[in-house]
Amino acid sequence: MTNESKSALGPARYYLTTPIYYVNARPHLGHAYSTIVCDAIARRKRALGIDTWFLTGTDEHGQKIERSAALAGRTPAEFATAISAEFRGLWDQLGLTYDDFIRTTEDRHKRGVQKLFATLRDRGFIYKGSYTGQYCVSDEAWVDVPAGTPCPDCGRMTETVTEENYFFKLSAFERKLLEFYEANPDFMGPESTRREVVSFVRSGLKDLSVSRTSFSWGIPVPGDEKHVIYVWLDALANYITALGYGSDDSADQARFAKFWPADMHLIGKEISRFHCVYWPAFLMAAGLPTPRSVKANGWLLFDQGKMSKSRGNIVRAETVQAVLGADALRYFLLREIPFGQDGSFSFDALVQRYNGDLANGYGNLVSRVVNMVHKYFGGVVPDAGPETAAEATLRQSTVNAIAAFGPAFDELNFSEALKALWLVVAETDGYLTANAPWKKPADRSEADHAALQARVLTTAAEAIRIITALVYPVLPDSAAKVWIQLGQGDIAFAARNAFLTDVQWGGLKAGTKFGEPAPLFPRAEKDATERMQNLEDENNRTVIEAATKQENAAPSAPEAPASALGISPVPAPPAPTVAESPAVASPSVVSVAHDMSAAGVTTVTNNAVTQVTTGPVDSGKPVATAKVHHVPDDLASSRLSSTPIAAPAGAPLTPAEASAAVQASEQISIDDFVKVDLRVAQILVAERVPKADKLLRLEVDLGYEKRQILAGIAQYYEPEKLIGRKIVIVANLAPRKMRGLESNGMLLAASLPDGAPVLASFLEEVPLGARLK
Ligand code: MSP
């Protein structure tokens, strides 16, 4: 038995899962990372003959999704369907070999979650109570902070929620969990995650609210349908409902019995509390086995920050795939980032790694050897003849790499495993160069040279065969090509036949007919980085345009692509624009106030705000809105005026228009500006005011308080579409009454040439109550 197969000893079946992805944002490289890691593991397990089940999917319920859908003017169901399809489509495009893709809106999941909830309740672990606490919608988590303070995990403002809820007796599991961690030292990793989780539990566990009544986008509590089940209880259960938990079907029950408990839940580090505390506690309470391990990956950082939609600093996997191929992306992610740590992603680093390790390294090595076997031996592997010291050395190094690769990979040290393999790539390269089979010295006989060529090329090809077999889970497409070139046939077939259980030196037989040489990793030229950057920029433009069109369009069919749903990763546009300042300030930003006759014009730029008066905004025409107006660079810090600007909605101002705008405004001092308290607020309620066709009554949440504002935008905005939207308000305006209703503040909006308002909004996630300054 080889070391390779020894490292595979363990259960004959393996169940691994990715986190299920929220459908509030389209997939980016951060999501692709966990899924690619799982795919590599699943491929290796299968090729070791282990019956493997790899689950991924989408997390579609909860307040966050409900609000995102509302923002996009869609129902949560159609919104979730579109984004879920994007995730699944991308995984298919990247060739990821998941066995099942679960959506939490599927019936099989709902059924299982309700069964789990009922089981917990029947076993006495769920009770009803009333609760007031701070809730972080972004993390979908209750947090133990005072009202008006941000979430300690993500920094976003928490909301005070008072509800009658069902509670899970988490406090009963404090000791049990600590004992469980103690008895299962490998349950969670890396070490930093283990420490964090243990200290969280040691600091005391409070009972957990596991239902909500203030919104409805979720799975109803069985028997008490006005409650929906807490989204994390719903989401975590996917790991069992996908296998068949809760089903009466015998095939489902058999799958559940076979694969549960999971061998590994692979997760991002920020969701370890849910997976290492709540999940095992729920399972213990339900009388179900706990997962064997939970392993956390670090974050993929881009431009110094966690790649995320709200930061607008994302890169898409499709971009890398289009320019360098999916294998290059897989290799980079697994080789560059020590698993468990945060890792920086940059196009330059990617291209460097690609050229160094793949194009000039492995790819070039394969090409040299395969070409020479064709050139000198007609493509048929010769008899190697007796081994010399040089072959023995390379053989030993390869055997060492076989021994090192498996255990490192299986312990998730992908980077170390690949490093060990690439030592053999380098050594084989050096061995070829030292023996130069392409060069016959004058004093060497023809027969001796032929013998050297046979020995050297066969030995090098054997090293390549082993490297290729081992690297197959990481570079599946390239390994498949090399396998054919080495005359080994279909690698997918070999994988189905557990070829990794028998990776040993000496497998390449004399007489094997090589396939035709074919390029593997063409060298990336200088423009590769630029091409990827351009693809991202192009995508950003498309997304922004789609969002713009979407705002104007009538609701589309349920299966509309996400890009048409106004769902955008919204990264910063290519050139500096006002979009890079905290608020998306449009050419002119007008406050749509309770006073319809003289709305103030407020322009927000990097550091300055000008407030002057303008004419009425009630032009009555339907508005063509644009989320982002591209403003020339030279305007980035200039002031804009109330002068109507003759630019079509969404079009940039020409420099002349901009300069005219600047000229026309009057200056104020900073002291004037600081008097205006501009704040981020979220619209909770929007409705028409009876007998006032221009007015909407809004209830907005400032994080620290809620208030009512009347705004003259009824002819331009459907009230339902405003719910959930984050806006900017003037928070310190003296209240005034209109139509018998009090208005406490003023909304900011851009004024289009025809006077139509476009509400100011944000490209990045902003906490409620944040001040604009
Ligand atoms: N829906 C929950 C998970 C429920 S699992 C029962 C969730 N979804 S998420 O879409 O926000 O994140 C899914 C995973 O993607 C997390 O593990 C998260 O860490 C990962 N990533 C998202 N952005 C990432 C990076 N920039 N880098 C690495 N992983 C990141 O949380």
Tell me which amino acid residue 476 is: P
699 in ligand 1 pocket by Cβ < 6 Å?
A: no
* Position 638 pLDDT exceeds 60: no
83 in ligand 1 pocket by Cβ < 6 Å?
A: no
Closest Cα to atom 23 of ligand 1: 30
Q: Quote the pLDDT of residue 304.
A: 67
CA of 64 to the centre of ligand 1 (A): 14
Q: Which residue has the higher pLDDT, 416 or 669?
A: 416
150 in ligand 1 pocket by Cβ < 6 Å?
A: no
Rounded to whole angstroms, how far apart are CA atoms 39 and 327? 12
As a whole number, mean pLDDT of residues 473-489 equals 98
Burial 247-259 (b: 16+ CB within 10 A, else e): beeeebeebbeeb
Cα angle 762, 767, 773; round to 5? 70
Tell me phi and psi for residue 701, to 5 degrees: -110, 125
Q: How would you classify the pairing of strands 126-136 and 141-143? A: antiparallel
Q: Which residue has the higher pLDDT, 493 or 611?
A: 493
Closest Cα to atom 15 of ligand 1: 31
* Position 306 pLDDT exceeds 90: no
DSSP letter for 77, please. H
Closest Cα to atom 24 of ligand 1: 30
Q: Which residue has the higher pLDDT, 17 or 553?
A: 17
Q: Quote the pLDDT of residue 756.
A: 73
pLDDT digits (tens, 9 = 90+) for 679-737: 999 888 888 887 777 888 888 888 878 888 988 888 778 787 787 888 899 988 877 77
Residues 749 and 759: beta-carbon distance below 8 Å: yes
Rounded to whole angstroms, how far apart are CA atoms 441 and 271? 63
3-state helix, strand, coil in the chain (%, to 5): 40, 20, 40
- Lowest mean pLDDT, pick from 164-168, 290-294, 702-706, 716-720: 716-720
Rounded to whole angstroms, how far apart are CA atoms 658 and 641? 9
Question: 639 pLDDT band (50/70/90 cuts)?
Answer: very low
Q: Which atom of ligand 1 is nearest to the CA of 279?
A: 6
Can you tell me which residue has the tokens 């804009």? Answer: 640
As a whole number, mean pLDDT of residues 287-309 equals 90
CA of 629 to the centre of ligand 1 (A): 31
Q: Quote the pLDDT of residue 211.
A: 95
Sheet holding 300-302, edge to edge: 305-306, 300-302, 343-344
CA of 746 to the centre of ligand 1 (A): 37
Among 299, 304, 314, 341, which residue has the most ligand 1 atoms within 8 Å of its CB, making it the best to mutate? 299
Residues 709 and 743: beta-carbon distance below 8 Å: yes
As a whole number, mean pLDDT of residues 375-384 equals 98
Rounded to whole angstroms, how far apart are CA atoms 330 and 328? 5
CA of 300 to the centre of ligand 1 (A): 11
* Position 298 pLDDT exceeds 60: yes
Q: Of 28, 21, 626, 727, which is closest to residue 309 (Cα–Cα)?
A: 28
Residues 547 and 565: beta-carbon distance below 8 Å: no
N-to-C CA span, the chain: 69
Q: Quote the pLDDT of residue 600.
A: 27
* Position 7 pLDDT exceeds 50: no
Among 38, 59, 231, 346, which residue has the most ligand 1 atoms within 8 Å of its CB, making it the best to mutate? 59
Q: Quote the pLDDT of residue 752.
A: 63
56 in ligand 1 pocket by Cβ < 6 Å?
A: no
* Position 613 pLDDT exceeds 80: no
* Position 461 pLDDT exceeds 90: yes
Q: What percent of the chain has pLDDT over 70?
A: 80
* Position 761 pLDDT exceeds 70: yes
* Position 770 pLDDT exceeds 80: yes
Q: Which atom of ligand 1 is nearest to the CA of 296?
A: 17
pLDDT digits (tens, 9 = 90+) for 405-454: 999 999 999 999 999 999 999 999 999 999 999 999 999 999 999 999 99
Q: Which two tokens stand for residue 350?
A: 């990617």
Closest Cα to atom 30 of ligand 1: 30
Residues 315 and 536: beta-carbon distance below 8 Å: yes
Q: Quote the pLDDT of residue 290.
A: 98
Question: 307 pLDDT band (50/70/90 cuts)?
Answer: confident
CA of 231 to the centre of ligand 1 (A): 15
Q: Quote the pLDDT of residue 547.
A: 57
Question: 8 pLDDT band (50/70/90 cuts)?
Answer: very low
As a whole number, mean pLDDT of residues 370-384 equals 98
* Position 522 pLDDT exceeds 90: yes
Q: Quote the pLDDT of residue 605.
A: 25
pLDDT digits (tens, 9 = 90+) for 204-238: 999 999 999 988 999 999 999 999 999 999 999 99
Q: Quote the pLDDT of residue 28.
A: 95
Q: What percent of the chain has pLDDT over 90?
A: 60
Rounded to whole angstroms, how far apart are CA atoms 396 and 386? 16
Q: Count Cβ atoms below 10 Å from residue 206 Cβ, excluding itself.
A: 12
Q: Quote the pLDDT of residue 161.
A: 85
pTM of the predicted model, to two decimals? 0.73
Q: Quote the pLDDT of residue 682.
A: 87
pLDDT digits (tens, 9 = 90+) for 54-101: 999 999 999 999 999 998 899 999 999 999 999 999 999 999 999 999
Give the SS3 label for residue 431. helix
- Helices then strands (H, E): number in the chain? 25, 29
Give the SS3 label for residue 158. coil
234 in ligand 1 pocket by Cβ < 6 Å?
A: no
Ramachandran region of residue 155, left (φ > 0), alpha (ψ -120 to 50) or beta?
left
19 in ligand 1 pocket by Cβ < 6 Å?
A: yes
Residues 458 and 504: beta-carbon distance below 8 Å: no
